[in-house]
Chain A
Amino acid sequence: MSIRLENVFFSYLEGTPTNQAALRNVSLEIEDGEFVGLIGPTGSGKSTLIQHFNGLLKPDSGKVFVDGVDLTLKDTQLRLIRQKVGMVFQYPEHQLFGETVLEDVGFGPRNGGLSEEEIVKRVREALAYVGLDYEVLKDQSPFELSGGQKRRVAIAGVLAMRPSVLVLDEPTAGLDPAGREEILAEIKQLHDEGGITVVLVTHSMEDVARFADRLIVMEQGTIALDGTPLEVFGQAGRLKDMGLGVPEITELMYELKAHGLDVDTEILTVAEAEAEIIRVMGWGCQK
């Protein structure tokens, strides 16, 4: 299940000059099974970009292929594409509408024309993915749940369609640290065990450093950087110019280096940093 964009241009107001467009000549390919982190300053075109992945927006020019199917053609069945490319928008709990959790989570499968039996099965499975109990919640109103639970129910509503690609726009915004960790861990698990391709839009460098195996950095409607987290965070200066940064622990390593400690700055996690500092300081033998 690959997503491929070729020379995509898009602007919200028709007739705006191309240098002000929301997307300018974007080409990229996301392969099956990747975990892609999409970062960039506010207004850089991240949300616009992901909406091209399932045909919610259509490019002014250029091509979008999902699994080899051209989304820009008129007779493409976008409904089928949207079952395959699940999209979780920012604050997805603001879209809850069902009288019961079952009805809300089952909305996607129901639109896909599945039998009631199959829908229940899908809902049960999707709720389990996000750590919620079907038996407890199915008849509750989604509006009576806590903030974190609402968010999970909303995410389950997308998972219930069994997408093979999951695109999430800031899924942890506004959650407490525990809630963030849980949701991120669940997404990681979906990727590792469920084999789902994940595109995660976020402002947190820490999150992408920990989970993504590829980073795409957007700037003013174009792809500024594209590579592994190590490659991208190696360009600390460039990222700072864009108003972004590197993970704090990487930042620390840069600082240490600037102060004359000869450490490797290609570090993304605290554990790696610990090992590197021990190595450089020569403390290893004392243990």
Chain B
Amino acid sequence: MLRSVTIGQHIPGDSLIHRLDPRTKILSSIVLIVLLFVVKGFIGYGLVALGIALVVRASNIPLRFVLRGVRPLMVILVFTLTLHLFMTDGRIIFQIWFLKVTWEGLIRGLMMGTRLLLLIIGTSMLTLTTSPMQLTDGIETLLRPGKKIGIPAHELAMMMTIALRFIPTLLEETEKIMKAQMARGADFQSGGITQRAKSLIPLLVPLFVNAFRRADDLAIAMEARGYRGGEGRTKLRELKFQRSDMMALGFVLAFALVVGAFF
């Protein structure tokens, strides 16, 4: 039942976008986010959308995977649109009792909606084309300069890697415990809210106990293999900026500057 849950939405591939250094993609995503908040008009959004469309095309990822990421956020999108539609003062289009729909509201709502939509699609291109390992690697390298001010870059990245690694394990464990308790007559589906919350105790307690036990084991196993934190640790695959990364970053920055400044 829990097997159907897929973790991360990375879709392996060998496109231009897939091959870019994760740092390039992370930085570009940050630029995109900033850009989306700087842009003021529909022409600007149109240009950004065009840019994202080009990236999607270059990544060779089928459109349905890209749109699948939007679906869970549909509610937020609709909510944003409605809120702006009704809550903005201005020239009234029509009015039902105290609810008034204004031109300004319509424009603001549409702009906000577009902004969110582009944000989701744009950033999902990062997770779609970058494996979780690459992503953490990229974050670690980017955070490295922050060490001087006390940001534990390596530790953060290691925590992320381990967390990702253990999601499937925990899901499997959950399923196992659920079955064992169901075999003893536990019922996770029926009853009111308090009843259901109570029925989770026989699931959550062993799950936590086992997670802590596993964490202890993992810590010991890592130490036994000589792990002492990030100090002096080398990598099998060093991240390297290629010419294509420079070009991509340059292009993204130039694009952002032009669109940000004029639209």
Residue ranges of A at the interface with B (Cβ–Cβ < 8 Å): 12-13, 51, 54, 56, 79, 82-83, 86-87, 89, 92, 94-97, 107-108, 111-112, 143, 157-158, 161
Are B185 and A95 in contact (CB-based, < 8 A)? no
Q: Decide if B224 is an interface residue (CB 8 Å cutoff).
A: no
Are B185 and A112 in contact (CB-based, < 8 A)? yes
Are B183 and A107 in contact (CB-based, < 8 A)? no
26 sampled A-B residue pairs with Cβ under 8 A: A12-B3, A13-B3, A51-B179, A56-B179, A56-B182, A82-B183, A82-B185, A83-B185, A87-B183, A89-B176, A89-B180, A92-B180, A94-B176, A94-B177, A95-B181, A95-B202, A96-B206, A97-B201, A97-B203, A97-B205, A97-B206, A107-B181, A107-B184, A111-B186, A143-B209, A161-B185
In-complex Cβ contact of B202 among A13, A56, A107 (8 A): A107
Bound Cα distance A214, B99 (Å): 76
In which size bucket is the chain B interface?
10 to 19
Bound Cα distance A111, B202 (Å): 12
Kindly provide the distance from the CB of A78 to the nearest chain B CB, expressed in whole angstroms: 8
Q: Decide if B187 is an interface residue (CB 8 Å cutoff).
A: yes
Kindly provide the distance from the CB of A143 to the nearest chain B CB, expressed in whole angstroms: 7
Bound Cα distance A222, B180 (Å): 24
Kindly provide the distance from the CB of A93 to the nearest chain B CB, expressed in whole angstroms: 9
Q: Decide if B210 is an interface residue (CB 8 Å cutoff).
A: yes
Bound Cα distance A82, B187 (Å): 12
* Interface residues of chain B: helix, strand, loop or mixed (majority): helix
Bound Cα distance A158, B179 (Å): 13
Given A89-B180, A94-B177, A95-B180, residue A79 in contact with residue B185 (CB < 8 A): yes
Bound Cα distance A82, B180 (Å): 11
Contacts of A87 in B (CB 8 A): 180, 183
Given A94-B206, A107-B202, residue A158 in contact with residue B177 (CB < 8 A): no
Most B C-beta atoms less than 10 A away, residue of A83, A97, A161:
A97
Bound Cα distance A143, B205 (Å): 11
Q: Mark B78-113, 1 if CB is under 8 A from A, else 0.
A: 000000000000000000000000000000000000
Contacts of A157 in B (CB 8 A): 184
For B205, the closest partner residue in chain A by CB is A97
Kindly provide the distance from the CB of A121 to the nearest chain B CB, expressed in whole angstroms: 17
Kindly provide the distance from the CB of B203 to the nearest chain A CB, expressed in whole angstroms: 8
Given A12-B3, A13-B3, A107-B202, residue A94 in contact with residue B210 (CB < 8 A): yes
Contacts of A107 in B (CB 8 A): 181, 184-186, 202
Are B177 and A95 in contact (CB-based, < 8 A)? yes
Kindly provide the distance from the CB of B209 to the nearest chain A CB, expressed in whole angstroms: 7
Are B185 and A56 in contact (CB-based, < 8 A)? no
Most B C-beta atoms less than 10 A away, residue of A54, A95, A111, A158:
A95
For A158, the closest partner residue in chain B by CB is B184
Bound Cα distance A12, B179 (Å): 15
Contacts of A112 in B (CB 8 A): 185
For A79, the closest partner residue in chain B by CB is B185
For B202, the closest partner residue in chain A by CB is A97
Are A86 and B201 in contact (CB-based, < 8 A)? no
Bound Cα distance A86, B187 (Å): 16
Contacts of A96 in B (CB 8 A): 206, 209
Kindly provide the distance from the CB of A139 to the nearest chain B CB, expressed in whole angstroms: 18
Bound Cα distance A13, B209 (Å): 29
Bound Cα distance A86, B185 (Å): 10
Bound Cα distance A87, B183 (Å): 6
20 further contact pairs, Cβ within 8 A, besides A95-B177, A107-B186, A111-B187: A12-B3, A54-B183, A79-B185, A83-B185, A86-B183, A89-B176, A89-B179, A89-B180, A89-B183, A92-B180, A94-B177, A95-B181, A96-B209, A97-B201, A97-B205, A107-B184, A108-B184, A108-B185, A111-B184, A158-B184
Kindly provide the distance from the CB of A152 to the nearest chain B CB, expressed in whole angstroms: 16
Bound Cα distance A92, B185 (Å): 15
For A87, the closest partner residue in chain B by CB is B183
Q: Mark B158-178, 1 if CB is under 8 A from A, else 0.
A: 000000000000000000110
Most B C-beta atoms less than 10 A away, residue of A83, A94, A112, A143:
A94
Contacts of B176 in A (CB 8 A): 89, 94
Contacts of B209 in A (CB 8 A): 94, 96-97, 143
For B209, the closest partner residue in chain A by CB is A143
Kindly provide the distance from the CB of B211 to the nearest chain A CB, expressed in whole angstroms: 11
Bound Cα distance A119, B99 (Å): 60
In-complex Cβ contact of A95 among B3, B187, B201, B206 (8 A): B206
